[in-house]
Structure 1
Amino acid sequence: MNAPTRHRVISAYLVFAAVVVAAGAALIVALSRAGEQDGFHAAAVPGGPSGGPDVPHILAVLAVLVAAAHLGGSVAARLRQPRVIGQATVGLLLGPSALGQVAPAAAGWLQSGGAVAAVEVLAQLGVLLFVFCIGHHLTGSTSSVGRGAALLTGHITVVVPLFGGVAVGLTVLTPPPGIATLPHALFVGLAMSATALPVLAHILTERRLLTSPLGALATTAAAVADATIWALLVVTLCLARGGSLAATGLRLAAAAGFVAVLWWLLRPLARRMLAADHAASPLRPALLLCAVLGCAAATERLGLHAIIGAFLAGLALPREAPAVRRVVVVAGGAAEWLLLPLFFVAVAAHTRLDLLVTGPVVAVAALVLAAAVAGKLLSGIAAGRVIGLAWRDASTLGVLLNCRGVTELVLLNLGRTAGIIDETTFTVFVVMAVLTTAGTGPLLDLLGAGHTPRGDAPVPPGAVSTSAGPALDRVAEAA
């Protein structure tokens, strides 16, 4: 199929999908209004006929949400934006702040019959698989360019925004009841320091920069920054949940013990088992996936978060083992095509865009956005100049590392579920994450960095913005 034909097929499919979604939404609204006239309300149906979850209804809701999210991703790609921008925007539009205000009956249909609980569970599973894939790909991402330059760049672009975020957390934002000032301010700093490695790899792939020296430096520095942030996140969670100094110390010791057992006992054992002749058994990928879920359960039981365990499992499992690669491919595909779109909907359900109509909250949002962008851009430019880059390349590096994407949303959702940040802070930072990610492409265009083709066609298969797929494998191959 040649390029013009493929473009016509894609355009026809998008039009068809839009018509189907619009017709489905109109049907939902019509049925909901008819039900209200008969004395019933769609949201009042708690479940199926037996009182349990309404499985057909839940499946229909999941189909609508996933289709809408991917349609939004396709539109974003047509606009030369990462797919995550379109998917997150659709999630916000389907949330209580948009659809809930414009068409409450349709929003009620999406939330009835046990659909909310199903979306939350699947979204959390998607986050675990996504973070596992990120941990797996970080193990091979530090060998591309000079390690000293990547280490310096990664740490500078974490420390500067971190201190800026801590200052904002101490002076502007208020911690929720029961949360001390220190863990709250530290988490705000971490939220300003994140860089989305998968989205970054996708943008570099689109612009033919992934295997360039600058692209290799950006991805390696982002890997260093992400690893540093996740390590500091463990300390932050211990401070937030530990209570007294002794309890915090005990929780940190338990976390360190778990990491030691995983790294020096289970990791060598897994390497030997996967190197054996029977390692190609179909049972191996299933056991590895169970190990990932087991690590997630262990860190949750330790009072940290399941995400930490999934991330550590990704770091610990041997990257070169075929069984591990199979698990990563399957987990990344499931997360990208099914589970992460539902995660965006779950995030939107807790995002109060209506709070942004008040002057004080808008001022806080503007301050957070300015501090986040300035911290990343200035630190990236400074690091680039220190390692000998020209002003233009140093500026490009700062713009690339300012991209936050899914990683930021995962981090924010963790802070929300752990009770470290409140609804207002969560909403402000979600808006910041979307805007900084959407601004990456235009700023790169302004700097003339790489060539950006239109549409979806030029992106290699698997080089997507929402999962740690083959594009990140190419990061390690750039060495």
Structure 2
Amino acid sequence: MSEPAILLTALAVLLGLARVFGAVAAKLGQPAVVGEITCGLVIGAVGWRVQVHVGGTLDALAQFGLILFLFGAGGRLAPSVRSVKTALVPALGATVVPFGLGALLALWLAGRHAPAGHLVFVLFAAAAMAVTAFPLLARILAERDMLCSGDGRRALSAAAITDALAWTALAFVAGSLHGSRVWTLALLVPVLLVLYFLSKPWFGALLSRLSRPATVVIPLACLSAAATDAIGLHAALGAFLCGVAIGPSAAVAEPVGSVLVPLFFVLVGRKVELSGITPLLAVETVVIIVVAVLGKSGGAYLGARAAGEPRRSALVFATLMNTRGVTELVFLGIGLDLGVIDGGFYAAMVVMALVTTAMTGPLLNRMPLWDKVC
């Protein structure tokens, strides 16, 4: 069989299995990404392999899907930034507390899981603990008709703030690995200036007059991703920032991204070495889950109460902010690619992301009904 035939067959099999596992997860009341990661775990456990060249092409396609996915996610994030003031205090609670607890936990783990040094590991692990899955959160809110509720808007705005801070920390981590963080971030300035001009109304008006805006915005997403990759940061950062700049027009990339991004999550699951989970790593995983839940939910609850929210709204907010899902997995994948974390910590954090994501639906089902405003 020729190499293109092998590639197309492997792509069809992986995407088909991802769809099946995702559908099963949805039937169980879980996000499809839980099923897609599980699919990758199963594939890795049975030892399924492809030719080296084919595997490299699959990884490239998965990365392209990730770029388009984060580009669209950035576009969805942009409108929520307009209402961040009302969610600032709750967001700080949902960011500072898990970040602090994550840093303390990382100090304990650094001796065993920090291949690139303790400082970057602690900063990365703390930021990873603070992440909220903004795109998945929006999907959960839409499925439950909560997008128009006060609880939903507050959670989305807080997730926007939290993830912006986490991605900023990731930029520092990535830049510090290339010898001069200051110069790396300085090279980011012209990229940000270009994106600033693209965020102006004139560019949105130009896109609205095009019959096929995807032919413009997708290449821009790729160029932005290539620019951040070329200066030593991760390509995903550029795609995300480009989506934030362009705004809702980035949604035209979602059809392609939605087809390919399951491949990324299947390959994410495949990277988890289940055979390498030792009793010590199992204990560390349990501790990570406990600290993640207490830090994120506890910090979010305290932040909401400090902002004057009633107990019920604070509980709903804490439950929603505990959702890690897709964003956490992307974050971890970048950390693994950068060499900031090792395979053991990666596996433990993937399990944490799946557990905290799986908790959201059942916990929301036990919450009192919320007021809808639309």
TM-score (norm 1): 0.73
The one-letter code of the counterpart of 1:133 is: G
Match in the other structure for 1:69: 18
Aligned partner of residue 388 in structure 1, secondary structure? coil
Q: Which residue of 1 aligns with 2:345?
A: 425
Partner of 1:328: 251
Change (3 A) 1:389 1:297: same
Contact 1:74 1:83 in 2 (8 A): yes
- Change in 2 beyond 3 A, CA 1:153/1:256: farther
Alignment correspondent of 1:197: 134
- Residue 282 of structure 1 deviates from its aligned partner by 4.0
> Matched residues in 2 for 1:262 and 1:201: separation?
24
**Could you list the per-position Cα deviations for residues 33-65 of structure 1 after superposition, in whole angstroms to 9, with x for gaps in the alignment?**
xxxxxxxxxxxxxxx55xxxx111211111111
Q: Which amino acid aligns with 1:334?
A: V
Identity %: 35
What's the counterpart of residue 246 of structure 2? 317
Deviates more, 1:290-299 or 1:164-173: 164-173
Equivalent residues in 2 for 1:180-191, closer than 5 Å: 180-191=117-128
Matched, 1:117 2:56: yes
C-alpha distance in 2 between matches for 1:423 and 1:215: 35
Alignment of 1:142-221 (within 5 A): 142-144=81-83, 147-174=84-111, 179-221=116-158
On the 8 A contact 1:160/1:379 being kept in 2, the answer is: yes
Q: Against the structure 1 CA distance between its residues 249 and 441, is the aligned structure 2 distance closer, same or farther, given a 3 Å change threshold?
A: same
Q: Which amino acid aligns with 1:332?
A: E
Native 8 Å contact 2:76 2:247 kept in 1: no
Report how many aligned residue pairs link the two structures: 373
Query: In the alignment, residue 353 of structure 1 is paired with which amino acid?
Result: L
Q: Structure 2: how far apart are the matches of 1:148 and 1:171?
A: 35
Of 361, 364, 370 in structure 2, the residue corresponding to residue 444 of structure 1 is: 364
Cα drift, residue 210 of structure 1: 2.1
C-alpha deviation, 1:420, in angstroms: 0.6
Aligned to 1:103: none
Q: Is the Cα–Cα contact under 8 Å of residues 74 and 247 in structure 2 kept in the other structure?
A: no
1:449 CA displacement: 5.1
1:173 Cα shift? 3.1
Query: Are 1:342 and 2:342 matched, yes or no?
Result: no
Matched with 1:80 is: 29
Note the C-alpha offset of 1:166.
1.2
Distance 2:20 2:270 in 1: 19
Structure possessing the higher relative contact order (Cα contacts under 8 Å, 6 or more residues apart): 2
**1:254 aligns to 2:187 (yes or no):** yes
Letter in 1 for 2:186: A
- Summarize the Cα distance change of 1:217–1:84 in structure 2 as closer, same or farther, 3 Å threshold: same
Counterpart residue identity of residue 337, structure 2: T
Provide the residue aligned with 1:369 in structure 2.
Answer: 289
1:275 alignment partner, one of 202, 205, 221: 205
Q: Which amino acid aligns with 1:83?
A: A
Task: Give, in whole Å, the separation in 1 of the partners of 2:294 and 2:342.
Answer: 24
Q: Secondary structure at the match of 1:242?
A: coil
CA distance in 2, matches of 1:262, 1:214: 31
**What corresponds to 2:232 in structure 1?**
303
* Cα gap change, 1:160 to 1:304, in 2 (>3 Å): same
CA distance, structure 2, for counterparts of residue 443 and residue 275 of structure 1: 43
CA–CA separation in structure 1 for the residues paired with 2:333 and 2:369: 32
Corresponding residue number in structure 1 for 2:80: 141
User: Could you tell me the TM-score, scaled by structure 2's length?
Assistant: 0.93
Shift in Å, 1:446: 3.0
8 Å CA contact 1:409–1:430 kept in 2: the answer is: yes
Give the deviation of 1:409 after TM superposition: 0.5
The residue identity in structure 1 corresponding to 2:268 is: V
One-letter amino acid of the structure 2 residue matched with residue 259 of structure 1: L
Unmatched tracts of structure 1, length 5 or more: 1-47, 101-106, 452-477
Counterpart secondary structure, 2:79 = coil
Report the residue type matching 2:251 in the other structure: V
The match for 1:435 among 351, 355, 370 is 355
Tell me how far apart the structure 2 counterparts of residues 419 and 175 of structure 1 sit (CA, whole Å).
14
Q: Distance in 2 between matches of 1:381 and 1:151?
A: 13
Contact 1:396 1:449 in 2 (8 A): no
Distance in 2, matches of 1:75 and 1:371, equals: 29
SS of structure 1 residue aligned to 2:340? coil
Highest Rg: 1 or 2? 1
**How far off its partner does 1:272 sit?**
2.7
Alpha carbon RMSD of aligned pairs, Å? 2.2
Q: Does 1:99 align with 2:21?
A: no
* Offset of residue 318 of structure 1: 4.9
5+ residue gaps, structure 2: none
Please give the alpha-carbon distance, in whole angstroms, between the structure 1 residues aligned to 2:199 and 2:364.
40
- 8 Å CA contact 1:162, 1:192 repeated in 2: yes
- Corresponding letter in the other structure for 2:333: N
- The residue number in structure 2 matching 1:352 is 273
> Is the counterpart of residue 405 in structure 1 residue 334 in structure 2?
no
Write the letter of the residue equivalent to 2:254: G
Measured after TM superposition, the shift of residue 349 of structure 1 is 2.5
| 1:274 shift after superposition | 4.7
Q: 3-state SS of the aligned residue for 2:110?
A: coil
- Secondary structure at 1:208 match in 2: coil
Q: Deviation of residue 223 (structure 1)?
A: 1.4
Q: Retained in 2: the 8 A contact 1:72–1:89?
A: yes
